[in-house]
Amino acid sequence: MSRKSYAFVLLFLTVSLFSILFSTEKEISRIGLEEILSIGSLEDDILFQWAGVVVDPRGNIYVTDAMDYSLKKFDPQGNLLHKTGRRGQGPGEFMAPRLLDCWGGFIYVTDQHIPGIQVFDTDLNFKRRITIRRPISDFRVLSESQIAVSTLHMKKAASILVFNSKGKLVRSIRYTQEKMPLMMSMVSFEFDKQGHMYIAFTFQDRIEKYDQGGKKVWSESLLNVRKTKKVKVSSYLVPDKIVYKDIALDIFENVFVLGGHFSKNESSDVYVVSPEGRYLTVFTLPHRSHCLYIDSRNFLYSRANDGVTLKKYKMHYSYQ
Amino acid sequence: MRRGFRPFLVIVALGLFLSTAIPKNGGAEDPPPAERHQKSGPSSPRLIVFLIDFNAFLCPSCLDSFLHFHKKLEARVNASQMWGILMIDHPFQESKKETKMKILHKKLRGFKKANHIKFPILIDHLGVFRGWSKEGTAIILLDGTSQKIRKYNFPLTPQEMREIIDHETVH
């Protein structure tokens, strides 16, 4: 290759690098929501109290319904395609279906009262159960053979636990060094495509990022909450006010955190933080929600009408 | 009977509640008028009232106990003797009342369908039983013959379950 060619390639790379750097400099200053789909009205019998939501790469929407012990599948237009489940502890049955995730053509479902994770195909046929003998407060399927789980830690420092497809613990990512009072280490979490882990503490004002090696990259507090009140339940003292309810990442890997009781608009304010940990903006959902989900096409899903309605929004970003 | 439980107040409250709620709620939760007339006649002097609290059903053993007991009772007792009242722990904001009632009716439909419950369940929109939900789901037996009222909280012990079922079938 001639010197001219080298110079051209070098110039091209420099320009590309600058354009990438320039584009990442643009920061979100405002996010607006446009409702594009609503599933479940006040009159119909489609959703009674939905708990968890996940969307497959084709845009089909899967929802757990705690009131009728079911898992439901909707097409991208919101039409009910399949429903499965009834009350019970057998295969494909639920006592309190909750969280969902989707990976490799399978839907993974937790139950608040049954340990482990049930796996269904996308037509909602039960395939198998993964035995995990710990309460699951949040989970993500990282690959066919790795499922990351947050659980309750009582006697030791808290970690995200990674299990294989047979339910065997293969590694853990520690996010607290010290033992914390009951439930104070509870988190919801997300992983980005590079394997960074983002966590939002449920009962503490802490949002944190960890690198692939489990080292803390940053830690942020957004609400100035010092201490949360505790109440006695049985013989345990437990916090009764939630700081952050859920965490999600958009396609640009900005961190979206749903605020709880301490937010100006309780269970509706969503705080947006850049991947580098800079607070960007806050926007308010039209309805109170218990969770927040962003699909691979950057649509945001949340709850309305106390869980009888699921809303899907298109997000409109304004930049500085 | 639990300490602090006042039978007189319960009779008055239930009387008021049922007398106001039954004619107003002409929806799916009520039996048709002819059936209602038959069921409330003097031949059925006993009434079983379930005080239902959705929050209490987050405890699976409470819901299990309720469903198990309901199934047993259903096989032995005239269905028209059973009623349910859904307790609401916070008053509705006036502006949101209509929406909230629709949401609760919808959730009740789902709950009844999924758990095969056939007896009518009224929503305590007047707040007559507000505060009772602290004790969770309960069952109240009103016996016009012996003029006794009893109350039990879920989950029921086997002894309590026997006691209620014997009481309802021995007479």
Distance from C-alpha of A214 to C-alpha of A230, rounded to nearest angstrom? 30
The letter for the amino acid at B157 is T
Q: Look up tokens 């009242």; give the residue.
A: B85
**First CA to last CA distance, chain A:** 42
**Whole-number pLDDT of residue A303:** 97
pLDDT at residue B117 is higher than 60: yes
The shortest C-alpha distance from B42 to chain A (Å) reads 37
Per-residue DSSP letters for B113-171? HHHT--S-EEE-TT-TTTTGGGG-SEEEEEETTTTEEEEEESSPPHHHHHHHHHHHHH-
Say whether B110 and A69 touch across the interface (CB within 8 A). no
User: For residue B110, which residues of chain A lie inside 8 Å, CB to CB?
Assistant: 45, 48-49, 65, 67-68
**Whole-number pLDDT of residue A205:** 96
Q: Tens digit of pLDDT for each residue in A102-131?
A: 999 999 999 999 999 999 999 999 999 999
What integer best gives the mean pLDDT of chain A? 92
How many angstroms separate the Cα of B10 from the Cα of each of A182, B54, B85, B140, B150? 39, 21, 13, 9, 10
Q: b vs e for B88-115, b when ≥16 Cβ sit within 10 Å of the residue's Cβ?
A: beeeeeeeeeeebeebbbbbbbbbbebb
Q: Decide: A214 and A189 in contact? Cβ < 8 Å.
A: no
Non-local (6+) Cβ contacts of B94 within 8 A are: none
The pLDDT-based confidence of A227 (bands split at 50, 70, 90) is confident
**Whole-number pLDDT of residue B22:** 39
Chain A residues whose C-beta is within 8 A of a chain B C-beta are 42-43, 45, 48-49, 65, 67-70, 86-87, 95-96, 113, 305-306, 308
- Which contacts qualify for A260-269: CB closer than 8 Å, 24 or more apart? A260/A202, A262/A205, A262/A223, A262/A225, A263/A223
Q: What share of chain B in percent tops pLDDT 70? A: 70
| Closest CB from B58, B67, B106 relative to A48 | B106
Q: Which residues are bridge partners to B122 per DSSP? A: B85
**Whole-number pLDDT of residue B88:** 85
User: For residue B99, which residues of chain A lie inside 8 Å, CB to CB?
Assistant: 42, 305
| Closest CB from A68, A95, A308 relative to B113 | A68
Q: What share of chain B in percent tops pLDDT 90? A: 13
Q: Tens digit of pLDDT for each residue in B4-62?
A: 334 444 444 444 444 444 333 333 344 443 333 333 344 556 788 888 888 777 778 88
Kindly state the average pLDDT of the residues A215-228.
Answer: 92
Top-confidence residue, A224 or B34: A224
- Sheet of B82-86, strand order: B121-123, B82-86, B46-52, B138-143, B148-153
pTM for the model stands at 0.83
